[in-house]
Amino acid sequence: MGRGRLSDAYTSGVYTPCTVLLMSIGHTLLGLLESGPRHGYDLKRTFDEKFGQDRPLHYGQVYSTMSRLLKNGLVEVDGVESEGGPERKRYAITDAGITDVSQWLAQPEKPEPYLQSTLYTKVVLALLTDRSAAGLLDTQRSAHLRMMRILTDRKRQGDLADQLICDHALFHLEADLRWLELTAARLDQLAKVVAP
Amino acid sequence: MIPEGSLLAAHDLRKTYGSTPALDGASFSVHPGEVVAVMGPSGSGKSTLLHCLAGIITPDSGTITYAGRELSAMSDAERSALRRSDFGFVFQFGQLVPELTCVENVALPLRLNGVKRKAAERTALEWMERLEVDDLGPQRPGEVSGGQGQRVAVARALAASPKVIFADEPTGALDSLNGERVMELLTEAARSANVAVVLVTHEARVAAYSDRDVTVRDGRARDLEHAV
Ligand SMILES: Nc1ncnc2c1ncn2[C@@H]1O[C@H](COP(=O)(O)OP(=O)(O)OP(=O)(O)O)[C@@H](O)[C@H]1O
Ligand SMILES: [Mg+2]
């Protein structure tokens, strides 16, 4: 790979901080529905409490996400209440929705820096839904190592600029990996905190 | 149970120290010329696995096959002879003989295999040149830096044309630049001479020089990429 293309691929990978979280709101809300049907408001509150630390969801986001999930058959309306006020829909996850969450959790994220928040969300959801968080971390670790191997190979064949560009990415990936290992070692502790 | 085409393969190794299980059903294999990284938490059994594979310690049970021969079926003398002729070793530190010069250290495995001194030192110098430490020939290990000493050790591991190199944290005591350079030189030399490398490391950037990695957890080795 030439330097131009390599650095393009790298800068777009490294300097696009995590928009992944936005894209995974749907999966996260779906995962939260696995424990039972909920209203949109309840979903928002639980999401904010568990994942929203410094960026709570807007109601608009919740309702547009839910209508997309409804359209795709991943949730269904489980009941509607409208005591005086506006209509409140209660949503339930469908079998297709459960499969979708499983697939999302099983699929490693594309190894790139700054994805901790997505990974953290995945780990917590896996713990909450009784899936294998350790397995998820292992799969991610192996995807990271694979990417590091590719970069190391490029570094070996490239000039100094390639080497420095690859090294930068390698150090970031290494930092992620350390986080993965540390988290794997603390899963039991984390499980007690998130799903008491 | 021996993966096809493998040079060295271990199956279901168990090893207990007192009541501590160090290996608990570990399996492993490496092909000729392949570089395999062995990773895993501290105390998980990586070094124990490496020492079993190299015939340095004997597992309580399980089989290790090298080039079609079972290690446990060999006598101690046969195993030592095999280690001298076919295996090379690089450890974290303290492995060079302090009384010998660097070139004598590198020539040592050849001398033990019966090569005459002049010829052995000539070959030793060639390897030291490849590892960029040929100017250290007359120095003693105490007079060179850690990174230089590690390159001398890699030259020594390669000098007797082994089939397998066992490396336990070979860059553990080095800074990242020296560590990378040692890995680059080790893997480059190993690949060009078709030497297999079993590389124990807890550093991902070091493991990234390998062709494949296995993870040891609680005495069991897992090959993640091939397990899925
Ligand atoms: N000679 C020994 N006597 C008693 N116990 C031992 C001996 N060697 C290893 N052990 C024990 O066996 C287990 C595995 O040790 P091993 O040295 O293989 O781990 P390791 O993965 O290489 O760790 P590290 O990354 O810290 O080097 C540990 O619990 C260790 O305490
Ligand atoms: Mg060890």
Q: For B73-99, how does the pLDDT look when each residue is reduced to its tens digit (9 = 90+)?
A: 899 999 999 998 999 999 887 689 999
Q: For A100-133, how does the pLDDT look when each residue is reduced to its tens digit (9 = 90+)?
A: 999 999 988 877 656 567 888 999 999 999 999 9
Mean pLDDT across chain B: 90
CA distances (Å), B207 to each of A103, A122, A137, A155, B146, in order? 29, 26, 18, 14, 20
- pLDDT of A68 over the 50 cut: yes
Pocket test for ligand 1, best of B13, B16, B17, B215 (most atoms within 8 A of CB): B17
CATH 1.10.10.10 is the classification of domain A3-194: yes
Question: DSSP for A18-39?
Answer: --HHHHTHHHHHHHHHTTS-EE
Q: What 3-state DSSP class applies to B9?
A: strand
Whole-number pLDDT of residue B144: 93
Q: For chain A, give every domain's residue range.
A: 3-194
Q: What 3-state DSSP class applies to A42?
A: helix
User: Is the ipTM here above 0.95?
Assistant: no
- pLDDT of A16 over the 50 cut: no
Q: How many CB atoms within 10 Å of residue A80?
A: 9
Whole-number pLDDT of residue A81: 81
Whole-number pLDDT of residue A82: 77
Q: Is the minimum CB–CB distance between B104 and chain A shorter than 8 Å? A: no
User: Do the beta carbons of residue A157 and residue A1 sit within 8 Å?
Assistant: no
How far apart, in whole angstroms, are the C-alpha atoms of residue A77 and residue A39?
10
Whole-number pLDDT of residue A20: 36
Question: What sections of A72-115 are H helices per DSSP?
Answer: 95-106
Backbone phi and psi for residue A74, each to the nearest 5 degrees, phi listed first: -90, -20
Closest residue by CA, ligand 1 atom 12: B22
Contact B224 A177 (CB under 8 A): no
Q: Which residues of chain B, if any, have pLDDT below 70?
A: 1, 94, 223-228
The ligand minimizing its distance to the Cα of B40 is: 1
The ligand minimizing its distance to the Cα of B167 is: 2
SS3 percent helix, strand, coil of chain A, rounded to 5, is: 70, 10, 25
Closest residue by Cα to residue B228 from A126, A108, A133, A104: A108
User: Do the beta carbons of residue B26 and residue B13 sit within 8 Å?
Assistant: yes
CA B196 to chain centre: 9
Closest residue by CA, ligand 1 atom 18: B45
Task: Give chain A positions within 8 Å (CB) of B224.
Answer: 138-139, 141-142
- pTM value is 0.77
Helix-helix angle A25-33:A116-128, to 10 degrees = 10
Closest residue by CA, ligand 1 atom 8: B48
Does ligand 1 come within 6 angstroms of the Cβ of B17? Answer: yes
Q: For B26-57, how does the pLDDT look when each residue is reduced to its tens digit (9 = 90+)?
A: 999 999 999 999 998 888 999 999 999 999 99
Whole-number pLDDT of residue A112: 65
How far apart, in whole angstroms, are the C-alpha atoms of residue A74 and residue A97?
4
